[in-house]
């Protein structure tokens, strides 16, 4: 999350100074539960049915195009916990900025669009006679959510400075390019071309969604977009009541002497 920071131009992420978003905690809980299901034969079927797979078109498991971001992908326990930690770091800021409705719209818009791209590429490869052992592996579960939240954060805070791996200061906008680079490195090891294009599509769709919301609210972070819309709506309601009841409004200083916070422009 973006917190109060005495150093101009820098952004601190973490969100531990504010109550965690309930929706984000639910997502983390589902990821952890489905990850644990993979270690027991009696529950292994659950993540297998919900993760993205060729069964989408082979058996008509169309729900997988929506459920796959919420399935804990197989990875070592340290890597999995680190991914959950980063999802919380970026996801908390995204949630506080977009709030619940746009938060979930961002996830569905980006993950579903990425799934369609990956599925189309996999079908094309099958028609060309090129089989992939584990398609969609690098875009499953926590990796997709991390790509979406990181891209959304980087889009909203382009000019901010963050610390990569907690030590290397870089502009936040570089995170988008780094995401694509990491996805490409994963592709080199897995040969999962549909998954690579799926991650790239999710990053691009997240950028487009957040930019479209920012164009409504102008400059500033994610939460400012919502605050500007709420302020506009409240002002319209006040204007209607004033005209309806004949109230006389005494103008103030229009905020000239009011200290503005980091989210209000």
Per residue in 142-154, pLDDT (tens digit) is 999 999 999 999 9
171 bridge partner residues: 161
The answer to whether 143 and 52 have CB atoms below 8 angstroms apart is: no
Largest CA distance in the chain: 75
Q: Using a CB cutoff of 8 Å and minimum separation of 24, what contacts does 169-177 make?
A: 169/10, 172/11, 175/150, 175/151, 176/150, 176/151, 176/203, 176/207
Element (H, E) at 235: helix 222-245
Q: How confident is the model at residue 39 (pLDDT cuts 50, 70, 90)?
A: very high
Which domains, and CATH codes, for the chain?
22-222 (1.20.1540)
Spatial distance between the Cα atoms of 47 and 36, rounded to a whole number of angstroms:
10
pTM of the complete model beyond 0.85:
no
Element (H, E) at 182: helix 174-190
Contacts of 193 (CB under 8 A, 6+ apart): 121, 125, 132, 187
Q: How confident is the model at residue 157 (pLDDT cuts 50, 70, 90)?
A: confident
Spatial distance between the Cα atoms of 115 and 201, rounded to a whole number of angstroms:
9
Q: What is the pLDDT of residue 165?
A: 63
Residue 56 tokens, joined: 């989408």
Which range scores top for mean pLDDT: 140-149, 150-159, 209-218, 254-263? 140-149
Contacts of 111 (CB under 8 A, 6+ apart): 66, 68, 69, 144, 145, 148, 202
Q: How confident is the model at residue 208 (pLDDT cuts 50, 70, 90)?
A: very high
Spatial distance between the Cα atoms of 119 and 142, rounded to a whole number of angstroms:
19
- What three-state secondary structure class fits 146? helix
Q: How many Cβ atoms are within 10 Å of 57's Cβ, its own excluded?
A: 13
């Amino acid at each position: 999350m973006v917190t109060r920071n005495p150093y101009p131009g820098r952004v601190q992420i973490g969100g531990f100074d504010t109550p965690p978003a309930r929706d984000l905690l639910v997502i983390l809980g589902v990821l952890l539960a489905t990850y644990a299901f993979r270690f027991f034969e009696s529950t292994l079927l659950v993540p297998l049915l919900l993760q993205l797979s060729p069964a989408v078109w082979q058996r008509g498991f169309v729900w997988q195009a929506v459920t796959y971001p919420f399935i804990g992908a197989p990875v070592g326990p340290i890597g999995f916990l680190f991914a959950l930690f980063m999802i919380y770091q970026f996801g908390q800021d995204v949630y506080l900025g977009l709030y619940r409705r746009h938060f979930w719209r961002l996830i569905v818009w980006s993950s579903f669009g990425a799934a369609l791209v990956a599925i189309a590429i996999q079908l094309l490869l099958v028609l060309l006679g090129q089989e992939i052992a584990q398609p969609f592996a690098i875009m499953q579960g926590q990796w997709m959510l991390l790509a979406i939240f990181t891209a959304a954060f980087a889009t909203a805070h382009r000019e901010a400075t963050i610390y990569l791996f907690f030590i290397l200061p870089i502009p936040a906008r570089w995170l988008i390019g780094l995401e694509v680079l990491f996805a490409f490195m994963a592709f080199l090891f897995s040969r999962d071309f549909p998954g690579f294009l799926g991650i790239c599509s999710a990053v691009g769709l997240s950028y487009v969604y957040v930019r479209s919301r920012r164009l409504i609210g102008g400059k500033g972070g994610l939460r400012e977009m919502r605050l500007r819309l709420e302020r506009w709506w409240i002002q319209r309601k006040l204007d209607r009541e004033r005209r309806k009841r004949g109230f006389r409004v005494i103008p103030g200083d229009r905020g000239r002497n009011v200290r503005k916070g980091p989210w209000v422009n």
